[in-house]
Amino acid sequence: MKVDNIITGLIQIEIEGESITFYKDENYFTFMRNNTSNINPLSIKTNNGYILGITHEGKAIAIYIGYNTFELYRTIKMRIRHYLLSNTVLIPNFNYEFDTIEFYGGTLNSLFSPKRVSSVSEQNSIAFDNNDLIEYCIRNDYLNGKMSVSSNLIQEFGGEGVSISNKGVFLSFEFIQAAKLQEVYNYYLKTCRLLSFMTYRQNVGFEKITLKNNNFSPNFYAFELFVNTKHEITEKGVGSNITFEDLGEHIVELINVIYYEPTNKNDRPIYLFDFIPKNDLDVFNLNNERIKNICSSLECEYRLSKDKDIIKEPNLCILIDEVKETIEKHQLTENRIDEEICNSLLSSVSQWSFPLKTRIFKLYTMYKSIFDKVELALCKDNDLSLDHIEKCISQFVKHRNLSSHDGITNLNHDLYFIAYILTVLLYICVLHRIGLDNQQICDLINEYKICS
């Protein structure tokens, strides 16, 4: 995304006789202590990793340092992950809140089809339509408000005439409860994960990210978020991505999944998207890390599967109940063990499950009807029989286990083949979990919008 050019200003500190000047160029901030006579380090406390400052233009700036305290001797140059800059002259303050965050352009342009301009050839004129706005109501523990997607209408005047274009997509979140400035980066990360799933790429981004408080200035943004990313965003076109129109109302459930925040540190994740390629060149790259990520994501989807008739393990459940009962009975005898050990054993027994290769194969058989109806781009000359799929899954999991211990890197055709199949399976699991039916999923696969 666009990063502002050179910025200079002063850091806000409340230490008598001390002041800090900063200079930003490209992705780096240089902090300079103005009191050069003091040889002791200057320690500055941050607010959740942020320090405040004011530019020489009078704008407020919040810079993410990432540490609880920031120590400075004379000068230090740091690569900063992100910072927030006010749009107008503003006194620096951490009490500022925002109730709207708006993402513009970048990857969004490949996830929505603008429809605000259409030519009317019979009248030799242009029709304008404001109805390409899509709105969703979001209600969960983390997001409570409205999400909308729309396109931008641009009219440009020049010496050669007037031009009108309908490009540039907005994604806006409007909250009922205002949020603090320090929370904005988390919204950015979550939104990137949403776009990563829709594009099957991790290198997503935006042209601009702005914050507004509609109670004070509904027509103007107050702050802009600048993120220093090392990657170029994906160049995938709208025809090969899962779009907002494709997902329809089901995107609300996808957002509920992605924006979920565990309330307990022991809570297990409800999605794992680490299997998604880093960029366009990484799509056909397979390595040990990717294999581990695919396996971990499949374990997660198996645990969260809605089809309990397929994944239930009745005989194993009976055994688990019998073992628990034996442990509990043992605790009633004079040979009882320490209570903590007992609880640990009961917890361990509760986690018993089939081997990973069996669980993954169960997931595949659950959605075999979808695989039978679609044409997979990379599987035209491969054996798709259940026996071969089961054999390849076993080999895939075995490779994961061996590479975890020995770091082996030997790959073969079957591993590449099953990695692709299992990645498609992961998308099927997530899309089914958020409410898409089998035919909708089949259409997305046949249109090459999944894992392409």
Do 250 and 156 belong together in one domain? Answer: yes
Do 301 and 323 belong together in one domain? Answer: no
Averages of pLDDT over runs of 10 residues in the chain (452 residues) are: 77 85 91 87 88 93 89 90 90 84 94 73 59 85 86 73 75 90 91 96 95 76 88 89 95 91 74 93 91 94 72 72 83 85 80 84 93 82 89 94 75 92 96 95 94 90
Place of tokens 């990717």: 290
Residues with Cβ within 8 Å of residue 173, at least 6 apart in sequence: 100, 101, 102, 138, 143, 145, 146, 147, 187, 191
387 in any annotated domain: yes
272 in any annotated domain: no
Nearest to 138 by CA among 218, 194, 79: 194
Output the 3-class SS for 192-207: HHHHHHHHCCCCCCCC
215 in any annotated domain: yes
Do 20 and 33 belong together in one domain? Answer: yes
What is d(CA 29, CA 8) in angstroms, rounded to the nearest whole number?
A: 9
Do 336 and 364 belong together in one domain? Answer: no
Do 248 and 337 belong together in one domain? Answer: no
Number of domains in the chain: 4
Do 298 and 223 belong together in one domain? Answer: no
- Amino acid identity for residue 330 in this structure: H
Contact 165, 156 (CB under 8 A): yes
Do 300 and 174 belong together in one domain? Answer: no
What is d(CA 89, CA 176) in angstroms, rounded to the nearest whole number?
A: 27
270 in any annotated domain: no
Residue 329: which domain range?
A: 319-352
Residues with Cβ within 8 Å of residue 39, at least 6 apart in sequence: 73
Cα end-to-end distance, the chain, whole Å: 24
- Residue 354: the pLDDT is 79
- Residue 48: the pLDDT is 87
What is d(CA 215, CA 231) in angstroms, rounded to the nearest whole number?
A: 36
Q: How many residues does the chain have?
A: 452
Do 228 and 291 belong together in one domain? Answer: no
Place of tokens 């240089």: 30
- Residue 124: the pLDDT is 57
Place of tokens 């009882």: 336
Do 211 and 148 belong together in one domain? Answer: yes
Place of tokens 């498609």: 424
274 in any annotated domain: no
- Residue 219: the pLDDT is 63
